[in-house]
Structure 1
Amino acid sequence: MPVATVGDDAEASIDVTTESIDAYAELTGDRNPIHLDDDYAAETMFGGRIAHGMLGAGVVSAALARLPGDIIYLSQESSFEAPVRPGDTVVAEATVLEALEGDRIRVGTVATVDGEVVIDGEATVLSVPHETE
């Protein structure tokens, strides 16, 4: 399989549900009531439950994994621009912006809900040929 090159892009999406938020909290141990308690969350600036920011960022990882080659995360900068709520579909896109030294590439990453940016960022990853057996 070839490696990712400038201009390559990939996409992934997830439907966020209260069950997926609850499962993420159980998996990670992040039990912040803004994610889990309807009554508490209703009194916050968000007016209701929101998903963990890293749940949305996980969809960015899934988009990166769909680029050509084997993709290995080295770093990610993310700006969380808007909340993700139960019932939202998060669509993440990864676009290769620049070839760096060696097998490293710089990738633009963005996650949206209904066209609104919820996470904006940039990743540095390794893109190496997929080893066949």
Structure 2
Amino acid sequence: MPVATVDETATHEVAITEETIEAFAALSGDGNPIHLDDEYAAETMFGGRVAHGVLSAAVVSGALARLSGDIVYLSQDLSFENPVFPGETVEATVRVTDDLGGDRLAVETTATVPARGERVLSGEATVLSVPHGDGD
């Protein structure tokens, strides 16, 4: 399989359910009540439970995995822009913007909640892209 190239894009989407949020909290150890407690979260600036921001970032990881070749996530700069609520779907889109040399690529990353038409995060990642199975 060829490696990812400049202007290549990929997407991935995940339905964010209450169960998804609870499983992520258990896995990550982040038990912040804004994610898990309806009564507590209702009194916050969000007016209800919200998903962990890093859960939306994980959807970006899924999109990166859909680029050509084997992708190794090296770094990520992110801005969390809007919350994600239980019952919403997050769609991540990644676009390779630059060949940095040495199999490294710069990738623009965004995630949206399409039903709201709102971006929930944006940033730039650096990935390593090598042909599938390279190094065997």
- TM category (shorter chain) comes to over 0.9
Identity %: 64
Task: Provide the secondary structure at the position in 2 that maps to 1:100.
Answer: strand
Give per-residue Cα distances to partners, 1:23-74, cap 9 Å, x unaligned. Answer: 0001111000000000000000000000000111000000000000000011
Runs of 5+ consecutive residues of structure 2 not aligned to the other structure: none
Written as runs of structure 1 = structure 2, the 5 A alignment for 1:16-27 is: 16-27=16-27
User: What's 1:78 paired with?
Assistant: 78
Distance 1:131 1:66 in 2: 15
Matched position secondary structure for 2:87: coil
For normalisation by structure 1, the TM-score amounts to: 0.98
CA distance in structure 2 between the partners assigned to 1:117 and 1:106 by the alignment: 20
Number of the residue aligned with 1:65: 65
- SS in structure 1 at match of 2:26: helix
| Structure 1 residue 101 displacement after superposition | 1.7
Cross-structure match for 1:125: 127
Distance in 2 (alpha carbons) for counterparts of 1:49 and 1:90: 16
Which residue of structure 2 lines up, in the alignment, with residue 53 of structure 1?
Answer: 53
Kindly state the Cα deviation for residue 131 of structure 1 after the two structures are TM-superposed: 1.0
Q: In the alignment, which residue of structure 1 is the partner of 2:10?
A: 10
In the other structure, the counterpart of 1:106 is 106
* Partner Cα distance (2:64, 2:105) in 1: 11
Gaps of 5+ in 1: none
Q: What is the match of residue 87 of structure 1?
A: 87
Deviations along 1:73-124, whole A, 9 cap, x unmatched? 1100000000000011000001000000210000000000022110100000
Shift of 1:5: 0.3
CA distance in structure 2 between the partners assigned to 1:47 and 1:131 by the alignment: 47
Alignment coverage as a number of residue pairs: 133
Q: Which runs of 4+ in 1 moved over 3 A?
A: none
Kindly provide the amino acid, as one letter, of the partner of residue 81 in structure 2.
Answer: E
